[in-house]
Chains A and B, each alone.
Chain A
Amino acid sequence: MTRSPVKVLYIDDEENNLLAFKASFRRQYEIYTANSAAEGLKVLQNLPVEVIIADQKMPHMTGVEFFKSITDSYPDPIRILLTGYTDISALADAINHGDIYRYITKPWNDLELHNSIKNAHEAYRSKIDLRNKVDELEKTNDELNRFIYSISHELRAPLVSVIGIVNLVKMEGLYNSSGEYWELIESCSNKLDYYIQKTLQYYKNNKTTSDKSEIDFKKLVDELIDLYSYTDRDTQFKLNINQPHPFMGDSFRLEVILGNLISNAIKYQKDTEEQKLVEISIDVTPFSAEISITDNGLGILNEHLEKIFTQFFKTKNNKGSGLGLFIVKEALNKMNGKISVKSSLNQGTTFKITVPNAN
């Protein structure tokens, strides 16, 4: 890759120095010279200069003063200060306020100056590259956000209409009018909706930086039970929520975690069970919330226990997407929480969670 030569601006009130600089470096760099800060500024206004070298001792405005004056208007070019004498206070000032990359004593050594310019240019490139990368990332991030938003609206809205139509079919007593077709449409639609919702949760969990808000566990659990049990009113809930201390945490992730576990507890019940029961107990201390969710449902095979938190792990009963518990685990990782599970087949399952209190 051939790059155009580095654009260097050299400002010095001594004409001889300007000439000497040009003579030494004109083959390597594209050189612009100015004999005062004011002239230098004119060059900056017209050209994308990458490295600026300024003499400290100039009438009207010193090198450091010049660098200070352009910190906001031209932050990108890398600055090198030339001084004929070691003026410590000027130097300290330069480093503290002028954003100087190097300082070089006069008379300069060609090799040293050359190396400094080379390094300065590299610093300039990486600064610009980094900024481009950040811009690019911000753009893809924005696109992902818009994508997520459009999934949640454009993709889901027509599906919800379909589910609405199926509901109407039920209300009008037509559900069994075409064999099992309506039932099949319903179960496919619900499955698709479930996938969309889980995919969204997964992306949001990956992206969202954690927010801290006060959590009222009683309210949250009541809302979630309401949300997930309206399709299945058989299950009884026994709540034991003990929150004597305020709890600060990430409301979105807690909702995702508890929502997935509560909906699982409802979903994986035994059809034959007369008293479907889910027990939720939560103890809040100043340091953490200890949550346990127990059901008397199907239970989990011992050999499956280790795999249930991995992505796309499903059991044969085919009710799940293989995403719910994976998302729970991911969300807990982001919150520095822990989860453990105990289960016996046909007896039920207990999930225990610890989430730190960010209070």
Chain B
Amino acid sequence: MLINVERPLRVMLIDDNIIDLKINSKIILISKLFDEIIQCQSGEEALSYFTMHSGKLNRLPNLILLDIQMPEMDGFEFLDNYKLLPEEWKANCLVAMLSSTLDFGDIRKAEANPYVLKLLKKPLIPAELATIFNANFNLTD
């Protein structure tokens, strides 16, 4: 089931590690798949981005790349909160997890979550991002 989207496309990175935010933004830039990158250093920040831009659906992300291990609100807790957001905010948005975890518990949990497309492993590779992109989005313009 492809989601029809048109440019500009936005991706949201949620990661407590500033260095990884920087690296992954660069990689996304190089991949040219997205036009705007929203960087959030915590799940809370990401949620407040959604509420702050609630009136402007065209400012909301099309893809969220979510880290698992974060202080206070981890990736899974973010998903629990994300689930509660109004449907129309999420209509054009998909979630993939992006983590360096090797923990089977985390991996299984990520795969079992209905909101998660896939667990991507760090470091992010443009080709993998492209695969996920093409498998889920249909650019209409």
A residues sitting closer than 8 Å to B (CB atoms) are 149, 152-153, 156-158, 160-161, 163-165, 167-168, 171-172, 197, 200, 204, 230, 252
Q: Which chain A residue shows the least CB distance to B128?
A: A230
Cα A152 to Cα B107 with chains together (Å): 12
How far apart are the CA atoms of A197 and B101 in the complex, in Å?
10
Distance in angstroms between the alpha carbons of A167 and B125 in the assembled complex: 8
Most buried by B among A158, A164, A165: A164
Given contacts A157-B17, A171-B30, contact A164 B102 (CB under 8 A): no
Number of A-B contacts (CB under 8 A): 50
User: Contact between A164 and B30 (Cβ–Cβ < 8 Å)?
Assistant: no
Query: Contact at A164–B104, with CB atoms within 8 Å?
Result: no
Interface size class of B (residues with CB under 8 A): 10 to 19
Provide the B3-39 mask, 1 if CB < 8 A to any CB of A, else 0. Answer: 0000000000000010110011011001000000000
Assess whether B141 is interfacial by the CB under 8 Å rule. no
CB distance from A247 to the nearest CB of B (A): 19
Q: B20 to A164, Cβ gap below 8 A?
A: yes
B104 to chain A: which residues have CB within 8 Å? 204, 252
Report the bound CA distance from A25 to B23 in whole Å.
Answer: 78
Chain B positions 115-141 with a Cβ under 8 Å from a chain A Cβ: 122-126
A152 touches B30 (CB 8 A): no
Known: A153-B100, A157-B100, A161-B17. A168 touches B122 (CB 8 A): no
* Residues in chain B near residue A167, CB distance under 8 A: 27, 123, 125
A165 touches B17 (CB 8 A): no
B27 partner, pick from A153, A156, A168, A252, beta carbons under 8 A: A168
| Contact between B102 and A152, CB atoms less than 8 A apart | yes
Nearest first, the 5 closest Cβ-Cβ pairs linking A and B are A164-B123, A160-B100, A164-B23, A152-B102, A160-B122
User: What 20 new A-B contacts, CB under 8 Å, besides A149-B103, A160-B100?
Assistant: A153-B101, A153-B103, A157-B17, A157-B100, A158-B19, A160-B123, A161-B20, A163-B123, A164-B24, A164-B27, A164-B122, A164-B123, A164-B124, A168-B23, A168-B27, A171-B126, A197-B102, A200-B102, A204-B104, A252-B104
- The smallest C-beta distance from A254 to any residue of chain B, in angstroms, reads 13
Beta-carbon contacts of B70-108 to A below 8 Å, as 1s and 0s? 000000000000000000000000000000111110000
Residues from chain B with Cβ under 8 Å of A156 in the complex: 100, 102
Q: Are B27 and A171 in contact (CB under 8 A)?
A: yes
A77–B125 Cα gap in the complex (Å)? 63
Residue B69 is within 8 A (CB to CB) of chain A in the complex: yes
Q: Which residues of B contact A163 (CB under 8 A)?
A: 123
B58 CB, nearest partner CB in chain A, Å:
30
The closest CB in chain A to the CB of B108 belongs to: A251
- Residues in B with CB closer than 8 Å to A168 are 23, 26-27, 30
Provide the bound-state CA to CA distance between A200 and B105, in Å.
14
| Minimal beta-carbon separation of B63 from chain A (angstroms) | 18
